[in-house]
Structure 1
Amino acid sequence: MVTIRADEISNIIRERIEQYNTEVKIVNTGTVLQVGDGIARIYGLDEVMAGELVEFEEGTIGIALNLESNNVGVVLMGDGLMIQEGSSVKATGRIAQIPVSESYLGRVINALAKPIDGRGEISASESRLIESPAPGRGQRELIIGDRQTGKTAVATDTILNQQGQNVICVYVAIGQKASSVAQVVTTLQERGAMEYTIVVAETADSPATLQYLAPYTGAALAEYFMYRERHTLIIYDDPSKQAQAYRQMSLLLRRPPGREAYPGDVFYLHSRLLERAAKSSSHLGEGSMTALPIVETQSGDVSAYIPTNVISITDGQIFLSGDLFNAGIRPAINVGISVSRVGSAAQIKAMKTSSWQIKIGIGAIRGIRSFCTICF
């Protein structure tokens, strides 16, 4: 006859209770209201995100695109012939991604990274999101305009707006008046911006050699932080003064002069400086260096030699107009010829939509104003 020991049973029960997993898995689910033509309407899924992957009961994967008040519009990544109205759908908490590897070289695949060349499966141990934010950092945006149109003020405001953003700022003053540099430093000190800012200054009375070297010194400082997983912003005020210093040095060295007496490699002078602005890769720390060069024009002539050189190197330009500045419009940015090659790709959708509407509105107002001036 089997002997039952109460203490042994109680120990077993106690052990099972202690090992019992009380974790509750919460799944965001919904119900199919309508399906057809590669689109499904889902009721529920209250916490689904835009672009999130959802999984249907029979295994089909979809992407939530429309987040409406009473249903969610899902595009199907498949034919969806087995999906029925009333079937359940669950959110996955992931957005669309594909496997990636060197094995994809030479292969033919579809939009889901599946091979369609009949050469077998492709092995991959990593995956990447199919849609990632465009790199807003690491750009080169030129600030260009006549003398006394607020170019330095735009750059200073940019530095002030980095407060609390964990961005290291480097301001390089090349051939500027000492009083102007002192005014910028005072503004940064009063606003508490010098805590994260480095100022490199070679004023107008500095030797040409030092004015030539100043931008490279600033770039080296910015790179130091960039390669230590920091985001940096560097402002060159302005590269045309560096070009003039380089022209002076080259003429004294009896190098053959070119257009406007500049040496033939003056383009390389600025390209090798501005091309250092970049967004570094993951194995280099994922830091970045964004450059804002400031170039002064004469009578609004953006077709001069140095301005066109810098425009061709940078990712866009912000043009400040003397007429707008004198009319009391500050900042005096001419939205008509100010462009960005990256532009809205690095903006959130709300900013992209509103900025485009504002730009159209400003252009219309200025067009009407010009028309009225002609008529009356």
Structure 2
Amino acid sequence: MDRDRSELVRALDETFDAFNRVVAETPRDFNLQEIGVVRYVGQGIALVEGLPSVKSEELVRFPGDILGMVFNIDPGEIGVILLDESDRLKAGFEVHRTGRVLDVPVGPALLGRVVDAAGRALDNRGTLRLSMRRPVEREVPAIMDRDPVTVPLQTGIKVVDALIPIGRGQRELILGDRQTGKTAIAVDTIINQKESGVICVYCAIGKRNSAVAKVIADLKEHGAMEYSIVVVATEDDPPGLQFTTPYAATTMAEYFLEGGRDVLIVYDDLTRHARAYRELSLLLRRPPGREAFPGDIFYIHSRLLERSTHLRRELGGGSLTALPIVETEAQNISAYIPTNIISITDGQIYLSPDLFQKGILPAVDVGKSVSRVGGKTQLPAYRAVAGDLRLSYAQFEELEAFARFGTRLDEETRKRIDRGRRVREILKQAQYDPMAVPEQIALFLAVNEGLLDETALDEIDREERKIRRRVRDALPELWVEILAGRELTHGDREVLIRAAREALSPASEVVQGANY
């Protein structure tokens, strides 16, 4: 028996040696590949068997050049989210690994272009030819790589710049019911960056084609596309593409951030992003939690928004400011997704449908809006005029609500209500009309000093334009100094108040009419 075993072992050794010699002498011109098989195709997802070495978030390729991203890795199958339409995909098709994660092209050539999450051009201006690509999922900057947020990002919107200031590197949420002007605030902010050197990225997630086309048309009309990138996944696109779009847009923005530039990115909106992720998760049978959202719904937004920051000077000193947009239902800001993102961001701008219906535009509810960075980013000139404005405006709203009961009011209270109504009129602003800081300062000084107390409410807008024109034409030196961040001295206040008073005087109106 022992002799038979030794002969068997010797025969096996000789066989293995012969096999190794054949392998060593065989030319290495063959290419071994793992090939999987599609077992099930759903709405935006596919279940695949095989591919034992595939990795999480790896790109896989289906017939017809359809791309997918590995999402679930289970013992018996792989869950893939599709980045292209799945109409042509059927069970039994082969699936091939690509060996890489989803990445996008980056570089200055993206400015002025409209692209999707895979970096494919959507604007009929030819294929993008960029050699540099970066993965859409990247690590957030470390805490020690960040600097405090101290430089303001001027939106050109009076109520925001004065009462809810935003800094470069901040994350400020814009939320409110549908059709209350959330996108309008974001678009006006992009338009206001024309002379600031800030690069802008507008990321549309799950929006209608017509809505995205309107935003692009507005940006082109006001000359903002030349310093902007538009990254689009409409409601007609697969949910997988909608899910990956904000990460791809952030990667494009980070190229400029790491080059020392200031960047603004708008996510419009993260409610639809969360719904796309919920759809994918339910189709792939991930355990549902509250409102059927998966347990990691908070993490998908935190890992996105934490990429916004202000880098240290040694790392270039660039900044990435995020304006995520969230849609509420029936003014419920305590719903699941809104509270998640409120807890991630550094403040919120809440738009009230009640104010919108009253024609108070932008419909910013000052009482429910806050900036947790606040005055640290504000230009010093604002502190001289807007410091008590928020409190006094909130008190006015309370007094006005009390006065509706028909109670007899004393003279002092009546004056405060009249002043508050004029402040509210001053805070109104038309869309596509961003206002420079010196103009805003002059207007706030004028209303605080009572120069508009005798003006009828329906005449405030006309008087406002007179003051703006006067400050712009008569005080060019003070204009530059305010923008440079100089403190507003008592003398500066007097100069601005005098200019406003002259603009409102009847003689000034005659002169301006003659010049016109």
Q: Which runs of 5+ in 2 are unaligned?
A: 1-147, 152-166, 408-516
Instruction: Please identify, of 280-289 and 296-305, the stretch whose mean Cα deviation from structure 2 is larger.
Output: 280-289
CA contact 2:173–2:342 (8 Å) conserved in 1: yes
Instruction: Determine the C-alpha separation between the residues in 2 that align with 1:247 and 1:374.
Output: 47
Deviation, 1:348, is 2.5
- Per-residue CA deviations over 1:278-336 (Å, capped at 9, x if unaligned) read 11122321111000000000011000000000000000000000000100000000000
**Greater helix fraction, Structure 1 or Structure 2:** 2
Deviation, 1:162, is 0.3
Q: Give the alignment's TM-score, normalised by structure 1.
A: 0.63
CA contact 2:207–2:235 (8 Å) conserved in 1: yes
1:373 to 381, 399, 404: 404
Confirm whether residue 324 of structure 1 aligns to residue 324 of structure 2. no
Deviation, 1:133, is 7.9
1:271 matched residue in structure 2: 302
Confirm whether residue 163 of structure 1 aligns to residue 179 of structure 2. no
**Greater strand fraction, Structure 1 or Structure 2:** 1
2:316 matched residue in structure 1: 285
1:189 matched residue in structure 2: 220
Instruction: Determine the C-alpha separation between the residues in 1 that align with 2:232 and 2:317.
Output: 28
2:155 matched residue in structure 1: none
Deviation, 1:354, is 2.0
Q: Which runs of 5+ in 1 are unaligned?
A: 1-131
- Per-residue CA deviations over 1:238-287 (Å, capped at 9, x if unaligned) read 01111000000000110000000000000000000000001112232111
Confirm whether residue 143 of structure 1 aligns to residue 189 of structure 2. no
Instruction: Determine the C-alpha separation between the residues in 2 that align with 1:226 and 1:133.
Output: 14
1:230 matched residue in structure 2: 261
2:366 matched residue in structure 1: 335
Alignment of 1:92-111 (within 5 A): none
Deviation, 1:347, is 1.1
CA contact 2:149–2:169 (8 Å) conserved in 1: no
2:341 matched residue in structure 1: 310
1:83 matched residue in structure 2: none
Instruction: Determine the C-alpha separation between the residues in 1 that align with 2:251 and 2:305.
Output: 12
Give the 3 Å change call, closer, same or farther, for CA 313–351 of structure 1 in structure 2: same
Give the 3 Å change call, closer, same or farther, for CA 352–229 of structure 1 in structure 2: same
Instruction: Determine the C-alpha separation between the residues in 2 that align with 1:364 and 1:332.
Output: 18
Instruction: Determine the C-alpha separation between the residues in 2 that align with 1:133 and 1:207.
Output: 37
Q: Give the alignment's TM-score, normalised by structure 2.
A: 0.46
SS in structure 2 at match of 1:276:
coil
SS in structure 2 at match of 1:374:
coil
2:390 matched residue in structure 1: 359
SS in structure 1 at match of 2:366:
coil
1:220 to 251, 254, 277: 251
Alignment of 1:45-64 (within 5 A): none
CA contact 2:149–2:310 (8 Å) conserved in 1: no
1:103 matched residue in structure 2: none
- Per-residue CA deviations over 1:205-244 (Å, capped at 9, x if unaligned) read 1110010011001100110110011110000000111100
Q: Which runs of 4+ in 1 moved over 4 A?
A: none
Deviation, 1:346, is 0.9
Instruction: Determine the C-alpha separation between the residues in 2 that align with 1:281 and 1:301.
Output: 38
Instruction: Determine the C-alpha separation between the residues in 2 that align with 1:133 and 1:183.
Output: 32
1:12 matched residue in structure 2: none
Identity %: 56
Instruction: Determine the C-alpha separation between the residues in 1 that align with 2:232 and 2:313.
Output: 32
Deviation, 1:344, is 0.5
